[in-house]
Amino acid sequence: MLAVTSFLSPSINWSRLNLWIVLGAFLVAPTGLSFAAETDTMQKGEAAFGQCAGCHTIEEGGPHLTGPNLHAVFGRDIANAPGFTYSDQLLAMQGVWDQNRLNRYIARPKLAVPGNKMPYLGLTSPHMRSDLIQWLESNPAKLSPARANTSIMNGARLATACAACHSFGKGEANSIGPNLWGVVGRLIASVDTFDYSERLMRRSGTWTTTALDEFFAESKEFEQGSHMAFRRLMHVENRQGIITWLSTLSDEKEALGNKMTTTAK
């Protein structure tokens, strides 16, 4: 305090000023470093979430995919995302997802909660788990645009194979398969100008992201109707990419959807 007062006094002591500048540099340098380390952890954590993003969304109100939406999961009650059907084993667990529980579950889901239905082998690297959990703890609002775009662009790329049989644009004619504009959230087999197979007609409900994920994953041969084998859709990340991309084909996201449609053709 004494030093500060004399520093602020009108008669500037230059040697003391130099000392302050040097001290200041010392004070700033470590903070700058730890800030860089922090963003590094966040980036690595988000990158590690790439292993989860095929099954989990992170944004508030995001859809359940194969796994529940994970918004604000750190500190959240276990098995408590509304609208998701959990296994009895996860439902039987008491408490919240804290550091310790997340760490054990993510490392070895099958060992940590025997009988739970998360089809994931585990993230074995302790460093990656630590970064990922810190990222989850920071309560991310969404994936950074660059990362989210990677998923959509991957979907758009994969969708070029669908374009052989499907049109994607609003109001476009059916092809070998029905037009897919607005398919996410649409009733199954509901394009009235398209002649569906009985098999698809018998399926009831809406094409939610979960229903689409199951549809694309359910058969090794992917042989619903006249669908051909889509090996690449056996990978959850690819299914997630396609579904994220399909969900851009809607009135609300029209501008983006049209842009993506052009990319897919």
Burial class (CB in 10 A: 0-12, 13-18, 19+), 58: buried
Q: Report residue 109: phi and psi, to 5°.
A: -50, -40
Q: CB neighbours of 244 closer than 8 A, spacing ≥ 6?
A: 148, 151, 152, 155
Nearest approach, Cβ of residue 132 and ligand HEC (Å): 6
User: Residue 184 CB, nearest distance to ligand HEC (Å)?
Assistant: 9
Q: In Å, how far are 30, 38, 73 from 35, measured between CA atoms?
A: 9, 5, 24
Query: Is residue 228 part of the contact set for ligand HEC (CB under 6 A)?
Result: yes
Please report, as a single letter, which amino acid is at residue 250.
S
CA distance 238 to 240: 5
Residue of the chain from 57, 116, 210, 247 that contacts ligand HEC (CB under 6 A): 116
Among 45, 64, 71, 78, binds ligand HEC (CB under 6 A): 78
Q: Which of 206, 251, 97 is nearest to 86 (CA)?
A: 97
The residue nearest ligand HEC at its CB is 225
- Which is nearer to ligand HEC, 12 or 159 (by Cβ)? 159
- Tell me, by CB under 6 A, how many residues bind ligand HEC: 51
Question: Would you mind telling me the total number of residues written for the chain in this entry?
Answer: 265
Residue 183 CB, nearest approach to ligand HEC (Å): 5
The contact pattern for ligand HEC, residues 156-195, with x = CB under 6 A and - = no contact, is: -----xx-xxx---------xxx----x----xx-x----
For position 119 contacting ligand HEC by CB under 6 A, the verdict is yes
* Contacts (CB under 6 A) with ligand HEC, residues 28-47: none
**Neighbour tally for 122: CB within 10 Å:** 16
Q: How far is the CB of 7 from ligand HEC (least distance, A)?
A: 50
185 and 207 Cβ atoms separated by less than 8 Å: yes
- From residue 193, alpha-carbon distances to 35, 171, 172, 174, 261 in Å are 58, 11, 11, 8, 21
Of 45, 58, 71, 73, the one binding ligand HEC by CB under 6 A: 73
Interface contacts to ligand HEC, rule CB under 6 A: 51-52, 54-56, 66-68, 73, 78-81, 86-87, 89-90, 97, 106, 116-120, 123, 161-162, 164-166, 176-178, 183, 188-189, 191, 196-197, 199-200, 207, 224-228, 230, 233, 236, 242
